[in-house]
Structure 1
Amino acid sequence: MTAQGYELAVDVRGLRKRYGGLTAVDGIDLGIRRGEVFGLLGPNGAGKSTTVEILQGNRDRDAGEVTVLGSDPATGTRAWRSRVGIVWQDESAPPELTVRETVRHFARYYPRPRDPEEVIGLVGLETKADSRIKALSGGQRRRLDVALGVIGGPELLLLDEPTTGFDPAARRRFWSLIRALADEGTTIVLTTHYLEEAEALVHRLAVVAKGRIVAEGEPGALRERYGTVATVAWTEPDGSPRALRTGTPTRAVADLMGRFGGEIPGLTVTRPTLEDVYLRLTGQSQEDAR
């Protein structure tokens, strides 16, 4: 383990996992600090969910060292498991119970659970507390899954595509919950396909492709490092719009100022978004395909 391992909630070195002839995770290294919101981004099949399953102790690894909250998940005790919350992509609650019954039932599994009524409110299910799970919409059932993930007051919360099926209002409410948990000191590992969600929530992220980490850092730093091409747009004197894709937008604007003698009509400078960077790093951008 690393010298600063005592500061890390998650410390992973050389993680590997194969399924027959398929390599799902191919030498991943991760160091996630306590209290950090960390994002794992990547296309389907990149190895994100397998990594999360190994961190939770739900799947064996083939190679590598893994420490989560000071213990190896492969040999984690019941006490250790009570410190880790998880929200899987698949639903886990029995359909015949009500929301309130389910949250109260799961609370009994933990030594120091959060208040069930508080958690129901945090995920926005107050008006559905006495509804049976089978009567909930897909987005509402997903919110219940989130409630079950946080009811134990975990030190580490693993979220695997948690907002799939959420409407925009529910997604923003979930973001507020994640920020509140992070402010309380909860370490959060988030996999998501929503790039705006990652940018809104995470302190750092890793982009995973074909079982390997291809980039890691703060979202802004990754945009600066990998988003090399900006778009400078303006309006010509005859009213026609023009645009230039360039790696030196400041120089392009200076050249245009010289042409126009000052103000540039309709000037905009658009820099690459996190989504642009993600698509480029995972080999899915149209620019790389050309």
Structure 2
Amino acid sequence: MSIDPSGPVTAPSAATGSGVGPLLRGWREQRRVSQLELALRANSSARHISFIETGRSRPSEEMVLRLAGHLDVPVRERNALLLAAGYAPHYPETPLDDPSMDALREGMERLIQGYEPYPALVVDATYDVLVANRGIAMLLDGVPERLLVPPLNAIRLTLHPEGLAPRIRNLRAWRDHLLAQMNRQIALRRSEPLRALYEEVAAFPVPDRDAAVDDDGPLGPASRFALPLLIEHEGRVLSFLSSISTFNTPMDVTVSELAIETFLPADPATAKYLHAMRS
């Protein structure tokens, strides 16, 4: 998917009309799956899929969930499909501070604390930070307090001209990476809050050229494998590789939208510096 710096690539809209049929057709077309292919995946017929999409046939609750699963529809949107078909939502949306989420929340906190001194954090569907470890707090040294008022937003803090952006040596490359990542999620989730965040951060100023340009390898050896984040801290340039983890087969909307991002040192000097800061 190509990225237009002036704005995100939007997801294909569902066909005009109401009900679950046009919504399913919109998801099928977005996934570039034919009626026949979807029918084969769902153990149905192209004729039945056509009847569902045109409203001539009302799908069962089980069929809605089956088609949504084969189209990789996000959990939140599966509930929307069920409502459009006249059924109750199938997936709960439990607040993270609900007592039933205590074990999950504590587990995530232990996970990112155990990752110290390397930075790690947990974000929701719009990149609001739910929990972060001391490695992240270290990177935020010097960021104005007004940008640290909850809810903290990881993308805004990273790209804001008064946030981390002035200290990111490869800001243009890292910005392109983040915008592309958001763009994919907008297409997947059709999220208006995420779209608004994209438009906000895409308008932030960006330098004509990165301070570090990967011509003769100044991004470091890790750049041969993945794009590193190069960020200054107290006069040193630290290099990180980012990894994002999500939960397998989530059965709750909240859980389906959680992401754990960890930053692995991309060179020995960064690892040594972080361990020295911890001691």
Give me the TM-score of the superposition, normalised by structure 2. 0.22
* Structure with the bigger percentage of helix: 2
Give me the TM-score of the superposition, normalised by structure 1. 0.21
* Structure with the bigger percentage of strand: 1
